[in-house]
Structure 1
Amino acid sequence: MKYEFDISEEQLERIEKYLANQLNSEEQSHFENELKSSPELQQKMEWVKNTALGIESAVLREQLDDFHSDISTKGPQKLESKKSGIAKWYPVAAILIVALGLFWFMQPDQNLKIYNTYFEPDPGLPTTMSSNNDFDFYDGMVNYKQGDYKLAISKWEELKNSGVSTDTLLYFLGVSHLANGNHDNAIYYLKPLSEATQNSFKEDTYYYLGMAFLKADNVEDAKKYLTFSSAERAKEVLSRIETD
């Protein structure tokens, strides 16, 4: 599994204490509530846990090697018991992480680096209104252009649920989700739109759909849809994918 996040010393210390049952009841409750609402924190905890497991496994293998070696020279021996289980290895993991410089930066994979280099949201449309439906759409467009993608998505999905399903609405819903960090929802809106016969944003739909697949680490589909787009930026991204 690839991990794409930064982790601070403070965050690692909290995770370490939680896994080792060293938080008081109030701290534990607060941490668990935060954990439920933060997929990124869940990913960080999984990484710390797996790191500690790897360290424990390596130490145990070394201990077994020593044990087997001692049998041949000293007779039957007893393996050291694991008094505190995996929890005792979390501080060791923390020390190794610091030594490797992973507190402050964890290198993202190459596809994500390309995505971060080239992705920019569509600049949006001029906010002019001529009907009730237009008002609802352009009200969301104001939020979109201000960078409040979550609020724009909320307004536009409500509009879609009311029965409005224009190519413009679906396109900006897809791009908004991508700008908001959700490539799966972006693909959900942009893929059907890319196959629609009526789409005023055909070239841009291909481009952003390709970028969504790139963020999802699906290089095959990313290249497929970027190739469909005649936009210069699509060609630049394709060139980077093929050379890196």
Structure 2
Amino acid sequence: MTLRSLLEPLYIQILRSTITHIPTHIAIIQDGNRRYAKEMGQKTGFGHRQGANTTETMLEWAREFGIKHITLYAFSTENFRRSDEELKELFDLFKDRFLKVLTDERVHRNKIRVRMVGDKTLLPEDVLTCVEEAEEATKQYSNHYLNVAIAYGGRNEIVHAARRLIARVKAGTLRPDEITPAMVEENLYGGLGLPPVDLIIRTGNEYRTSNFLPWLANGNESSVYFCAPYWPQFRKIDLLRAIRVYDQRRRSGPKPSCP
């Protein structure tokens, strides 16, 4: 047993004791799976599987801390450009993890609702079937929400919302001057009613939010935490450090606007 393994639980306890405000909605950009696999001398699929395992562990931490909404950026619209081999690995992994929801006692004991955020028309039929089975099996739950962003792009989402509103204008059921920010929000994310994002986390030493939930995150001026570990290496300490950034911002209060 190393000194680090002995001290880490104590540090986690101390760090948790300093945090007063817990975010309601955390959005996570899970970056670094492929780079992690490369550094480990493994194929890409290894990194994605390890990342999926980290996700399951992280959800336990989030539940422990009382976080109600988690939105994961699992697969962007741009990711469809990846190789056929990697796409197959990812789609097989998605099918496996969504089907696992059906029998995972943690999901049902803690009443976690699982939902997909993204363009379902872009998914292969077999993947979509697994997604919809997980959604159906958890649709009555409301203690916690796990939103998985697949085939998702922030600008694409806003375009789809605009099209829905334009269709109503053309049908004569809505006037342009009646369109409000709240109405736009109602037409985003498939009408899931996601709350504003309080905190964005990005792993893998990348310092950008990559078109993720722009309306709910940027519009809400959410706190942002970038960290170096690849997603498979993400630890409970990293999550707490991210929450501390949100907590510190809440303590300091709103920033005055520029004159």
TM tier, smaller: under 0.3
Structure having the larger proportion of residues in strand: 2
Provide the TM-score with structure 2 as the length reference: 0.24
TM-score normalised by structure 1 residue count: 0.25
Q: Which has the higher contact order (CA 8 A, sep 6+)?
A: 2
